[in-house]
Structure 1
Amino acid sequence: MAFTTTMLAWSIIEFGDNMKSELANAKAALQWSSDYLLKAATATPGTLYVQVGEPNSDHHCWERPEDMDTPRNVYKISAQNPGSDVAAETAAALAAASIVFQNSNPSYSKMLLQTAMNVFDLADKYRGSYSDSLGSVVCPFYCSYSGYNDELLWGAAWIHRASNDASYMSYIQSNGHTDGSEDDDFSFSWDDKRAGTKVLLSKFFLENKIDEFQMYKQHSDNYICSLIPGLPNSQSYTPGGLLYKQSESNLQYVTTSSFLLLTYAKYLNSNGGRTSCGSTIVTSDSLIVQAKKQIDYILGDNPMRMSYMVGFSDKYPTRIHHRGSSVPSVHDHPDRISCDDGRQYYNSGSPNPNILIGAIVGGPDSNDNYGDDRSNYSESEPATYINAPFVGAVAFFSAGD
């Protein structure tokens, strides 16, 4: 959720001017989540609440929110139970949101930024991964595979952008070698922030030309170049042209990489509009073209002729892996549907009765096939962290309308 919040804020920061009448909705959604994170960070000093619910029983039950009766256990990180990854991502989210509300709600913005700094201090001072200190409830669902150094740099980068406090830039200079750039697998996700941090910091280099930060521009070039088909070290694509990272929720990587392509193109446009991939010159326009192919694929320009955004176009996923969408509403079925009784709807071959409009699912397999199967959560489960970067990407392209 913190990553979703960061990416929604970044979408508004870079492309909010294109959102027109939807800007108010984007900001309202952002405030909903930043309010939640603010509560989680300030309820108890020196503590960040990071999870509500018992994930094993929650995953076992197929029931609508109105009927939930699984334990609402609350889990937190602190000096005794460190969680640098989740804390630093929360700091990034609060700092990014503070930028969005700087003009419209300066007192709220100031509170967000100060809380971001406090949470970052907790993340940095008491280092450790929350999937270690809270392993029994975090894993295997939300394990931190990339460690926490990437989040520490990501959080510092966002706080610097929000505050212009030079100490955070000094922090990045002192700790920049610890984020695993050397073995970067070029993914950007809720778990791995390396590519996003590099693009964020490349803006600082392009504007200020400080030699110590040139490495972030070089790393950004390497990542961006890996997204251009046909170039050496290019990432994998399906026969239909979709970036393909892995079988589980692959579209999360498509929306994040498309967002970074467009954001980097914007940064390059204010500094010559081009970069090099080895001996090949790549223009910002070519990055935009590549991002557009990915966004168009998600919205229906693909071999299945299916939109992977629910409710968009004539053909879209109808059996998505989502409890509230697949179980009859309380309006249509007022009686309680228990934990196990909901399984009949999970196993049903019928379309979901409640259309979750706007949700983007995990997407097709490596051969562009999609079975529209509720039980295949790798392909049919929607997630907020898939949608958030997509908001910025479609905002960019809406400017051409």
Structure 2
Amino acid sequence: MTGINRIFLLSAVCLGIVQATGQAPYNYTEVLQKSILFYEAQQSGYLYKNRIPYRGDSALYDRGQRGEDLVGGWYDAGDHVKFGFPMAAATINIAWGIYEYKDVYIETGLLEEALDQIRWPLEYFIKCHTSQNELYYQVGDPSADHGYWGRPEDMTMERPAMKVDEETPGSEVAADTATAMIIGSILFADEDEEFSALLMEHGIELYNFANTYRGNYPGTHYDANDYGDELTLAALWLYIASEDPAYLAEAEQFYIDFNQKKRVYSYSWGSKTPAVQVLLYILTGKSGYRDKFENYVNGWLPEGSLPYTPKGLVYRNEWGPLRYAANTAMIALLGADHDISTDAYRQFAIRQIHYMLGDTGRSYVVGFGENPPQRPHHRSSSCNDAPAPCNWSDHRKPEPNPHILYGALVGGPDINDTYADVRQDYRANEASCDYNAGFQTAIAALLRLERDGYWSPEPDPEIDQ
């Protein structure tokens, strides 16, 4: 690590943190900044702005099937595949948070960092959209990639690229990529007019491609059951960006055509229905959309239909349970900020996010709080500084990772709140781009509540502490 990088990292992580006023027991600003740093640790390509001292340029020869430049983007998790669908979903959740809570990002001095954060995948998506009806959605072979434990800078395996087009459509990944670009276009309108216009041009083309050539994309990882929710969400953001009522009418028709009144399993990379419901209510004021949104969120409340751990985590799935709770906390806070079950949803979200930050006596955010994870299932941070070798022995070693993966939210505990800080346990201890995205926006929402003097609720007496 160079002296310059040491100073830069210290200034980015330890200094300049402005603690917002209010009664929150955690430094949300620190969490927000460290979440941004996590995404910087996931960057692939030429690192022209590198604040992560153990990272360097990597995957510089990622190419499409005709030699197109596909350098850039985020590595998905602890591995080095670039999966476009969850990358787009994560970008949407972060960008939506910047759009909704821009005042918070400005007040904390983090707006520039946050815009840089989402510029990285957005520039990559532009590269992936190689023609009007063609989009690359994956770079890397998961089998070969998962057989390698080492630095991304040292990879030598083949990295094939997969695409969707008119003959092999992929409406969900094309529509989600379009949505990410459209929100990005809104955010960069005042910062970079040329980039904003380019994002809108690509976003509209991808939306039209997704809608005209309908079908589920052929990805073997991060598949989705349907694409109607992604199409609807893209239409809604096009309406927000353009104020063209035709897009809102199209979204309302999609809502009917694709039966988006139902309560879905979760709000996640593969399911955007709760986002559709809350946005339709915000934009139209129609109570039917609010009712369906409440039907979803209410199922996650302590009196709802889902189980809770003894210490208070709503438990949707053993694979990344904190991600599911964080995503619903995010969407609940957005609804609450638009007068939907405000107090109940804020209290639910605060309890879930505070569980992650340390209410049980340990943090689940690497490099933050009390007793945080030290052995995340994450290749690059597990490696000693180059030129030392890095291989599967680093995966198995009991020592903490040599490098701190600042800001990474790990998968989380089991249904009994049991958690082992073990690198080999990828279900509990892997970090992922989609894990942090809803979490980051929920943190931004809580920062605003803290600024506005909202008193954090006491723990629910009905949940054992």
Q: Secondary structure at the match of 2:337?
A: helix
> How far does residue 335 in structure 1 lie from its aligned partner after superposition?
4.8
Are 1:99 and 1:162, in contact at CA under 8 Å, matched by a contact in 2? yes
The yes-or-no answer on 1:113 pairing with 2:169 is no
Matches of 1:242 and 1:320, distance apart in 2:
20
TM-score (norm 1): 0.86
AA aligned opposite 2:207? F
CA contact (8 A) 1:153 1:179 kept: no
How far 1:183 sits from its partner (Å)?
4.4
Q: Percent same amino acid among aligned pairs?
A: 35
Distance 1:171 1:51, change over 3 A: same
1:228 and 2:315 matched: no
Give 1:361 deviation, angstroms. 0.6
- The residue number in structure 1 matching 2:352 is 294
Residue of structure 1 in register with 2:114 after alignment: 26
Q: Residues 82 and 126 of structure 1 are in contact (CA less than 8 Å); yes or no, is this contact kept in structure 2?
A: yes
Deviations 1:179-210 (A, max 9, x none): 3435433410011111111112111122xxxx
Secondary structure in structure 1 of the residue aligned to 2:374? coil
- The one-letter code of the counterpart of 2:250 is Y
* Cα distance in 2 between the residues matched to 1:227 and 1:32: 33
Distance 2:111 2:305 in 1: 35
Equivalences for residues 86-235 of structure 1 within 5 A: 86-131=173-218, 138-139=219-220, 141-144=221-224, 146-181=225-260, 183-206=262-285, 213-230=286-303, 233-235=304-306
Give 3-state SS (helix, strand or coil) of 1:50's partner: strand
| Structure-to-structure mapping, 1:2-401, within 5 angstroms | 2-19=88-105, 20=107, 21-41=109-129, 43-131=130-218, 138-139=219-220, 141-144=221-224, 146-181=225-260, 183-206=262-285, 213-230=286-303, 233-268=304-339, 283-302=341-360, 305-330=361-386, 334-337=387-390, 342-399=391-448, 400=450
Residue aligning to 1:135: none
Say which structure is richer in helix: 1
1:292 Cα deviation after fit? 0.8
Give 1:382 shift. 0.6
Q: Distance in 2 between matches of 1:163 and 1:106?
A: 15
- How far apart in 1 are the matches of 2:128 and 2:239? 22
Following superposition, the deviation at residue 10 of structure 1 comes to: 0.5
* Count of matched residue pairs: 362
TM-score w.r.t. the length of structure 2 is: 0.75
* 1:323 positional shift: 0.6
Partner of 2:79: none
* Unpaired runs of at least 5, structure 1: 132-137, 207-212, 269-274, 276-282
The residue identity in structure 2 corresponding to 1:252 is R
Letter of the aligned partner of 2:229 in structure 1?
Answer: D
- Cα deviation, residue 84, structure 1: 0.7
Q: Which runs of 5+ in 2 are unaligned?
A: 1-86, 452-465
Quick one: distance in 2 between partners of 1:328 and 1:291? 37
Deviates more, 1:288-297 or 1:179-188: 179-188
The amino acid of 1:224's aligned partner reads V
Superposed CA deviations along residues 1-48 of structure 1, whole A, max 9, x for unmatched, are 00111111101011121122011111110111211112212x333211
Q: 1:279 maps to which residue?
A: none
Q: Which amino acid aligns with 2:400?
A: P
